[in-house]
Structure 1
């Protein structure tokens, strides 16, 4: 897909996969003021009609939502601004493919049913 990068990962096999989830969080680094920011956009599951392969697509126009506080010093700092996360069932059976716009990143976390992060080395 033109203008997009992709990530393809195969999760390590686990005996308790039915109790685990993969959280995908899109984000981008920006120089910003003291306000809180969030990316607009969404990760959606799609299917390639020719190959019948499922993948995830993060689509955004780059706009952000923010608070509107007065920032007394107007100092800009480099912040990783995140968008809405997508959580899917953990599976080591098939690769997980994620497309996202160039200049953005996708951060991955494995979580359990209590929404606690599980330390698993991801590729």
Structure 2
């Protein structure tokens, strides 16, 4: 009987114990070799305002272009779940080759340093947790906010 009580006490003690990180970033893994970790800390907004906001994550790198053609990187931004925490982080995957249109550029055209990006990703605005992005070394992570207007429209049948 004493063994059952002791086991019940230990079970209750362990059930009340939860693992928490001192800082939200402590839960996220360090960047793997050849990757860099970028952290976006969002400013807090008034109650209900965050529901109207989205964050566009843009990853890319600056390269020399001809200034005429449009370039895009072949990568994509994939959401990943942090096991045991339920947090989401984002990883840049896929080919880092540059895709370009093939318009003829003038021979005398100077090369222009341009930020070339992969397709962007829109995520929910949440100031309580940082947005963590793992991208290949040499890449930049940029972001911008999008806000919905106050007016909502309904389609008539």
TM class by shorter chain equals 0.7 to 0.9
Q: Which residue is 2:61 aligned to?
A: 28
Q: Is 53-62 or 37-46 further displaced after alignment? A: 53-62
SS of alignment partner, residue 70 of structure 1: coil
* Aligned-residue CA RMSD (Å): 1.6
Matches within 5 A, 1:1-123: 1-15=32-46, 16-33=49-66, 34-49=68-83, 52-73=86-107, 74-113=109-148
How many residue pairs get aligned? The number is 114
TM-score normalised to structure 1 length = 0.83
Query: Greater strand share, 1 or 2?
Result: 1
Deviations 1:70-111 (A, max 9, x none): 112253211111110000110011121111100011111011
Greater relative contact order: 1 or 2 (C-alpha under 8 angstroms, separation 6 or more)? 1
Provide structure 2 residue ranges, at least 5 long, that are not aligned to the other structure.
1-31, 150-157
Query: Greater helix share, 1 or 2?
Result: 2
Provide structure 1 residue ranges, at least 5 long, that are not aligned to the other structure.
115-123
Cα separation, 2, equivalents of 1:36 and 1:108: 20
Deviations 1:41-86 (A, max 9, x none): 1111102336554211112321121110111225321111111000
Cα separation, 1, equivalents of 2:65 and 2:118: 16
Cα separation, 1, equivalents of 2:55 and 2:65: 29
Cα separation, 2, equivalents of 1:20 and 1:52: 21
